[in-house]
Amino acid sequence: MEGVAVPGERLGSTEDFTSGGGTYECDGYVYASVTGFVKKQASQKVGQPPTVRIVRNESQHLVLPEIGSTVTCKVTSINSNVCKASIICVGPVHVKDPFRGIIRKDDVRATEKDKVEMYKCFRPGDIIRAKVISLGDAQSYIMSTAENELGVIFAESEAGAAMIPVSWCHMQCPKTKVKENRKVAKVHN
């Protein structure tokens, strides 16, 4: 049970644990109310279950995505409605263990949302910059690339070369000159 928990994640039943800091009880279960490390502490009273609590700043190296955080992710899979990605950096800080995130079709662009085709925006292996818009559920953070500065920042072509952005929706292989569709992040000069 040790590890990282996010708000709303079930930590155990009230028969097994007493609710401590950063948790709450509901319908016979203890849930996390904040994001952080799960810690158990033995009870000093005989017969009472251990206390479970959430510790937010156990280490100065702990960085967790929050609403509004800009994150760097690696695309893991895509379907027609959702892009799944592993969050590898929060701001400029690399995270020890990647977090899961998703980008929904409606959160790819700010305009022409009905014309978004996920396969033309992202590909598995792409590195993207996104913004956390919701803590989601216990499974994934919900992210958006609906700003000019957000989107694909690195993609590898089929020839194995790092692709070059040529427009907001295309990247080009420097070897083969083949253009591929992507939701490209605006590069700051």
Residues 6 or more apart in contact with residue 59 via CB below 8 angstroms: none
Contact 63, 71 (CB under 8 A): no
Give the pLDDT band of residue 66 (cuts 50, 70, 90): confident
The residues, any chain, with a CB within 8 Å of residue 45's CB and separated by 6 or more, are none
| pLDDT score of 59 more than 90 | no
CA distance 158 to 155: 10
DSSP SS3 for 12: strand
Q: For the CA atoms of 142, 147, 148, 154, what is the dihedral angle to 10 degrees?
A: 0
Residue 2 confidence (pLDDT): 66
For residue 64, the model assigns a pLDDT of 82
> Minimal CA–CA distance to 95: which of 75, 73, 125, 126?
73
Residue 113 backbone dihedrals phi, psi, to 5 degrees = -60, -30
Amino acid found at 80: S
Q: Identify the pLDDT of residue 144.
A: 95
Categorize the per-residue pLDDT at 188 as very low, low, confident or very high, splitting at 50, 70 and 90.
low
The torsion angles phi and psi of 175, rounded to 5 degrees, stand at: -85, -55
**pLDDT > 60? residue 176:** yes
1 has a pLDDT exceeding 60:
no
pLDDT of residue 33: 81
Adjacency order of strands within the sheet including 51-55 = 3-5, 36-41, 51-55, 18-19
Q: Which pLDDT score, from 0 to 100, does residue 20 have?
A: 86
pLDDT at 183: 93
Residue type, 162: A
Q: Given a cut of 80, is residue 158 above it in pLDDT?
A: yes
The owner of tokens 């967790």 is: 64
pLDDT band at 71 (very low <50, low <70, confident <90, very high): very high
Mention every residue, 6+ apart, whose C-beta is less than 8 A from residue 120. 169, 181, 182
- Kindly tell me if the per-residue pLDDT of 43 is higher than 80: no
Number of Cβ within 10 Å of residue 80's Cβ equals: 9
pTM for the full predicted model = 0.65
Closest CA to 3 of 27, 32, 44, 43: 32
Sorting pLDDT into bands at 50, 70 and 90, what band is 60?
A: very low
Residue, of 169 and 137, whose pLDDT is higher: 169
Q: Which domains does the chain have, with CATH numbers?
A: 3-55 (2.40.50.100), 70-181 (2.40.50.140)
